Amino acid sequence: MEVGVVMESNRKTAIIVGVLYIIGTAAGVLSGLILGPVMGASDILAQAAANEGRVITGALLVLVMGLPLAMVPVMLYPLFRPYGRALALGAVVFRGTLEAVAYMAIASGWLLMVTAGRAYTGGRTPPRTGRWGRC
What single string gives the DSSP state of each residue in 21-50? HHHHHHHHHHHHHHHHHHHTSSSHHHHHHH
Range of the domain at 20: 2-134
pLDDT tens-place string over residues 100-113: 999 999 999 999 99
pLDDT tens-place string over residues 21-73: 999 999 999 999 999 988 888 888 888 888 899 999 999 999 999 999 999 99
Element housing 132 (H / E): none
Element housing 83 (H / E): none
Total domains present in the chain: 1
Nearest in space to 130 (alpha carbons), one of 45, 43, 54: 54
Q: Are 87 and 80 in contact (CB under 8 A)?
A: yes
What pTM was computed for the model? Answer: 0.79
